[in-house]
């Protein structure tokens, strides 16, 4: 068992800290917000992630997990420190490293023995060296001398499936500089060895690049299938069948070949912009990734125009009620960062629509994100209330409960019959949508019977 500090209790930090405690380590999670720390101490997760609160409560009761605002205490008490603070995108697309460097300075100020400092946050290439220099500079300023090592250990968590991804990852990437820190990292993850997880040991710069390269590739794949979907609609092809056939090729695989309204979330939008910025700084134009970013922006705009165009059949969109199901960027999370719903709902409101919205977990965040247009949005208690007197229905996020809608009841609630299935939830169940004028993504529209 090791004493581990996790600094930052956002999505990555909280999940990482809880899972490390579950593995038997003594974990201290640090956050600057006293209010947040008090909530976490009570065993309540500050994010929605299936199973997280239960695992938190178990490890708090076993005295393996604690929360504090006292970074000095955590730094001095622990020999391993995970940096999991935010690295938000600046206006130019680059990662804002002020939070991670502030923590590095604190470590340099409070360090009291040998420590391993692990970058868990998504950071650009060269951050490991910058963190090392920041710690060293602060130690010199304080006239203290202790050895320490920097490690890059990027996360690959999918929101909604984060616990499983943390405990049974496809791979654990570790960028380090010597055998001592390498062995400590092996020891930290030893409890997960029964899953026979492959380790990738490399240098720090390569580990930092692996995270960006992985996310950028997945974003490219999503943008690619969305462009194929747009073409499919024009030529009468079915993108569902196309994607299935493509995915049967082992070189391609079926993952991330799902046409929809565009990607969102805390990783893909931020990381694609960051790697383009890194390329610019090193005189390398990331043409493919830039095209994926542009295609994703265009996809969200196309979804708005698709809905607006179809609603001309019912006299246009102005003052029409549109039921929107799903606000979070994906199911099983309350996260709305860069969610397609942000652009699509704003686009529909700009065209004159009235939104009737429901999301199992996203409405709390939606209310402050849409505060400037709240007079055009009504938040309802469930999907059927949202559909009441609606002229059109839009599925934006494929929550499980939206996959099993009582469509007869939905139709009876609605005033109109336009059904925009932007996640193709019912694309292969077209008989169930026979009472609607159904629109999927990348498939031909089908008139209501």
Residue 56, burial from CB neighbour count under 10 angstroms (0-12, 13-18, 19+) = buried
CB atoms within 10 A of CB 379: 19
Q: Could you tell me if 129 and 93 are in contact, meaning their C-beta atoms sit under 8 angstroms apart?
A: no
Beta bridge partners of 12: none
d(CA 236, CA 425): 19
267 catalytically annotated: yes
Pairing of strands 354-358, 377-379: parallel
d(CA 334, CA 89): 20
* Catalytic site residue from 166, 176, 267, 413: 267
- H or E stretch covering 150: strand 148-152
Residue 384 makes CB contacts below 8 A (sequence gap 6+) with 406, 409, 410, 413
Q: What is the DSSP string of 287-305?
A: HHHHHHHHHHHHHHHHHHH
d(CA 337, CA 334): 9
Pairing of strands 115-119, 148-152: parallel
Beta bridge partners of 420: 394, 439
Q: Which two tokens stand for residue 406?
A: 């009582």
Q: Could you tell me if 289 and 274 are in contact, meaning their C-beta atoms sit under 8 angstroms apart?
A: no
Angle of the 287-310 helix axis to the 204-235 helix axis, nearest 10:
40
State the residue for tokens 């008090």: 38
Residue 151 makes CB contacts below 8 A (sequence gap 6+) with 116, 117, 118, 119, 128, 174, 175, 176, 181, 185, 204
User: Residues 299-332, buried b or exposed e (16+ Cβ, 10 A)?
Assistant: bbebbbebbbebbeeeeebeebbbbbbbbbbbbb
Through-space distance between the first and last CA atoms of the chain, rounded to whole angstroms: 65
Catalytic residues: 267
């Amino acid at each position: 068992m090791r004493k581990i500090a996790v600094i930052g209790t956002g999505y990555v930090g909280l999940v990482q800290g809880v899972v490390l405690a579950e593995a038997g380590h003594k974990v201290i999670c640090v956050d600057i917000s006293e209010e947040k720390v008090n909530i976490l101490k009570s065993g309540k997760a500050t994010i929605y992630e299936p199973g997280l609160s239960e695992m938190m409560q178990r490890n708090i009761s076993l005295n393996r997990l604690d929360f504090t605002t006292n970074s000095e205490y955590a730094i001095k008490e622990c020999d391993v420190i995970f940096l999991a603070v935010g690295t938000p995108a600046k206006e130019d697309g680059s990662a804002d490293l002020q939070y991670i460097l502030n923590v590095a300075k604190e470590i340099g100020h409070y360090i009291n023995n040998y420590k391993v400092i692990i970058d868990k946050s998504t950071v650009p290439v060269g951050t490991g060296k910058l963190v090392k220099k920041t710690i060293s500079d602060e130690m010199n300023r304080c006239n203290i001398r202790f050895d320490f090592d920097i490690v890059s250990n990027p996360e690959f968590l999918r929101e909604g499936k984060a616990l499983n991804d943390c405990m049974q990852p496809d791979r654990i990437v570790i960028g380090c500089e010597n055998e001592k820190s390498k062995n400590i990292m092996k020891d930290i993850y030893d409890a997960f060895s029964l899953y026979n997880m492959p380790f990738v040991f490399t240098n720090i710069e390569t580990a930092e690049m692996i995270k960006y390269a992985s996310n950028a590739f997945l974003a490219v794949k999503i943008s690619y299938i969305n462009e194929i979907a747009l073409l499919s609609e024009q030529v009468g092809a079915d993108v569902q069948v196309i994607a299935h056939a493509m995915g049967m090729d082992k070189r391609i695989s079926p993952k991330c070949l799902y046409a929809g309204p565009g990607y969102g979330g805390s990783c893909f939008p931020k990381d694609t912009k960051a790697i383009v910025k890194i390329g610019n700084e090193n005189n390398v134009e990331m043409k493919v990734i830039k095209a994926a970013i542009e295609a994703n922006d265009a996809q969200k705009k196309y979804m708005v125009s698709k809905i607006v165009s179809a609603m001309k059949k019912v006299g246009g969109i102005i003052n029409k009620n549109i039921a929107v199901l799903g606000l979070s960027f994906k199911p099983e999370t309350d996260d709305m960062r860069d969610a397609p719903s942000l652009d699509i709902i704003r686009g529909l409101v700009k065209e004159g629509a009235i939104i009737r919205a429901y999301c199992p977990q996203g409405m709390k965040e939606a209310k402050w994100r849409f505060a400037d247009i709240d007079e055009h949005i009504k938040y309802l208690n469930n999907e059927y209330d949202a559909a009441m007197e609606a002229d059109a229905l839009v599925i934006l996020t494929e929550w499980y409960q939206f996959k099993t809608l009582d469509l007869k009841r939905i139709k009876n609630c609605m005033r109109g019959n336009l059904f925009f299935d932007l996640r193709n939830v019912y694309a292969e169940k077209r008989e169930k949508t026979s009472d609607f004028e159904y629109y999927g993504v990348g498939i031909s529209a089908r008139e209501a019977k």
